[in-house]
Amino acid sequence: MTYIPEMLPSRRASAERPRRVVFVAYEGVSLLDLAGPLGAFIVANRFGPGAGESPLYECSVASVRGGAIRTADGLPLGTESVLALKGKVIDTLIVPGACAVDDVTRDKALIRWVRNNAGACRRLCSVCIGSFLLAAAQLLDRRRATTHWMHCSLLSERHPAVSVEPDAIFVRDGEI
């Protein structure tokens, strides 16, 4: 994981609107890498400060075209199109990993969308080998990052401008 979200915001900080968390998905996304973090935000909404009031987080799963994508586990997953996010503030953009590095970086349109929209997001995160998508979008250049231990050398090899920390469980470098 490249970043772990900060502590829950206070109810007052989220009184205006819930923080928008967008998970980008692609063919071959790992269900575990998507559902685990998504579940953490759902639990925060259900049991966090002010439970029962308006939610702290508004979560969505988006892909380039929207509609069903197939996860690495073979399950079809419904997504909204990234076009539906136009004009919306994204507080946290999360790139889940996959079972195969090439699945993460196959969708060039998604890489372009992430690169073009990253500057408007308050923070960017990746789970496991989702870091390869952030690196392909050149968002990790001259930054510290990590990935699954089995793939650290490959991340360094493919993206020499990234300072890979192979022994870190997570790395936070600014808004990434």
- DSSP helix/strand/coil, 42: helix
- Residue 170 CB coordination number (10 Å): 14
| Res 47: pLDDT | 85
| Three-class HEC string of 46-98 | HHCCCCCCCCCEEEEEEECCCEEEECCCCCEEEEEEHHHHCCCCCCEEEECCE
Under the banding of pLDDT at 50, 70 and 90, the label for residue 2 is very low
pLDDT at 107: 96
Indicate whether 11 belongs to any domain: no
Q: Is residue 97, in this structure, part of any structural domain at all? A: yes
Tokens standing for 85?
């996010």
In a domain, 7, yes or no: no
125 labelled catalytic: no
Percent of the chain at pLDDT > 70 equals 90
Residue 45 lies in a domain: yes
- Which pLDDT tens digit goes with each residue over 44-69? 988 877 767 788 999 999 999 999 99
In a domain, 4, yes or no: no
Tally the domains of the chain.
1
- Would you say residue 13 lies in a domain? no
Exactly one of 121, 125, 128, 152 is catalytic; name it.
Answer: 128
The whole domain housing 104 covers: 27-164
pLDDT at residue 50 in the model? 73
Residue-wise pLDDT tens digits, 15-45: 568 999 999 999 999 999 999 999 999 999 8
Kindly report the CATH number assigned to the domain that includes residue 82.
Answer: 3.40.50.880
Average pLDDT over residues 81-88: 94
pLDDT attached to residue 106: 96
Residue 63 lies in a domain: yes
Q: Note whether residue 174 is domain-resident.
A: no
- pTM value? 0.88
